[in-house]
Amino acid sequence: MMRGAVAIFRRDMKKFISNPFVILMTLFIPIFYLVIFGNAMGGTITGIHIAVVQAEPYTIETPLFTQATGALREFRSAPDKPPTFQVTVFPDEERAKQALADGRTSGAVIFPSDIEKGGAVRVYEDSSDYMVPAIMEGGVTAAVASTGAQNPVEFNRVYGKIEYFQFFGVGVIVMAIFMTTMMGGAFALIRDREQGIIEGYLVTPVKRSSIILGIIGSGTVRAFLAGFIIFIVDIVIAGIVVRTTEQFLLVLLVLFVSSIGVTALVVSVASRFNTQQEYASTVAFFNLMLFMTSGAFYPVQGMPDWLQWITVINPEYYTVHALRSILIRGQGMEVIGTDLIALVIFSVAAIILGITTYKRTIE
């Protein structure tokens, strides 16, 4: 019995040692988990965009406004951290609220006019972001208190109370798209290569662009269906509300464009690999990195700067942003247009990369 066990052990060890790439990736993934999870989850949220306005009728700047705005600018979660808020003074309440509605700021603080000095300080918060409202409430309360003023502070969550379940539910749609893509089109490409089936069709006149587009096409349909199913699950169990047909169609559009983008990315990565092992370890790494930095379950503002940069080139970030804009904030094309453009640019780049890197020979 032992001899057989030792033989199996030796065989597996030999295979393990003979593939340095997979060893490297398997070590890389936990290290990356450490770095990303450690930084993303434990990080301090800083640089929250906030608008401050002194209400009409405006005659002169009140001391409350000046002092509280100054205090907000200097507010930090700990002495050695950067300021929590990035404060912008707006000329009027209307524009401040518009900026909030467009998602340019996460909150608006309306200080009372100088003719009603004891009036309430009204705070409007983007409650679609899970962590931000609580931080903002703490910050504004502290800033007003620091001036010694007795004005009451009123908090208005503009999108109502959003449960974490809803916040996260939207993010999970993206995960469904990615997981399906991982097991879908690109996987078929690798299997064909690994099993040698590819030798059969590489000798036909089929173009490599046809191979890549075909694979991306089938992968997109699968990813879209998966995303759609999770979207329905979100409606049924996570309490996501779709208010209009237009919203519903916009969600489908975002799901579709995202499916193309993510599938094209994975296929373009897969087009260079020969074995499932190499592919699986690399894609697991991508999955982690893209999902973690997508903002799906933790706000991007809480991440260190270098990680925030990854979000700029992360298609999943745009998907999550677009879906939250539609489903939680009730915004439309005017806000998600940028996300869609980013996704389209990304998809086209990934498709071109996939086609140009695809190996037309078997070497």
Partner 1 sequence: MGEEEIIRLEHLTKVFRNKETVTAVDDVSFTVRKGEIFGLLGPNGAGKSTLIRILTTLLMPTSGTATVGSCDVTGDPEGVRSIIGVCPQNSTLDLELTAYDNLDFYGRLLNVEEGILAGRIGELLEVAGLSDRANSRVSTFSGGMRRKLEIVRAFLHRPLILFLDEPTIGLDPDSRFEVWQQIARLNAEETTIILTTHYMEEAERLCTRIAFMDKGRLIALDTPENHKRALPAGDLIDIGLGRMDERAVAAVRESGLVTSLEVKESSIRIHARNGSSVLPAIIRIFERFSIPMTSISIHSPSIEDVFIYLTGRKLDSGNGEPAAPQKGRGRRP
Q: 291-350: which residues touch partner 1 (CB under 8 A)?
A: none
Q: Is 24 in the site for partner 1 (CB under 8 A)?
A: no
Q: Which two tokens stand for residue 361?
A: 């020979």
Q: Is 19 in the site for partner 1 (CB under 8 A)?
A: yes
Whichever of 19 and 308 has its CB closer to partner 1, that residue is 19
Using DSSP bridges, classify how beta strands 121-125 and 107-111 pair: parallel, antiparallel or unpaired: antiparallel
Q: Is the dihedral of CA 38, 41, 45, 48 positive or negative?
A: positive
Of 118-126, 198-206, 254-262, 296-304, which part binds partner 1 (CB under 8 A)?
198-206
Residue from 196, 236, 245, 305 that binds partner 1 (CB under 8 A)?
196
Output the smallest distance, CB 19 to partner 1, in A.
7
Q: Which two tokens stand for residue 325?
A: 């804009």
CA angle in degrees (0–180, nearest 5) for 208-209-214: 100
Whichever of 14 and 161 has its CB closer to partner 1, that residue is 14
Output the smallest distance, CB 183 to partner 1, in A.
15
CB 46: neighbour CB atoms within 10 A? 18
Whichever of 52 and 215 has its CB closer to partner 1, that residue is 215
First to last CA, the chain: 41
CB 208: neighbour CB atoms within 10 A? 16
Whichever of 193 and 329 has its CB closer to partner 1, that residue is 193
Contact 285, 32 (CB under 8 A): yes
Whichever of 79 and 200 has its CB closer to partner 1, that residue is 200
Q: 204-233: which residues touch partner 1 (CB under 8 A)?
A: 204-207
Whichever of 163 and 199 has its CB closer to partner 1, that residue is 199
Can you tell me which residue has the tokens 């247009």?
Answer: 337
Output the smallest distance, CB 194 to partner 1, in A.
5
Contacts of 139 (CB under 8 A, 6+ apart): 72, 75, 84, 85
Contacts with partner 1, residue ranges (CB under 8 A):
19, 194-207, 274-275, 278, 360-363
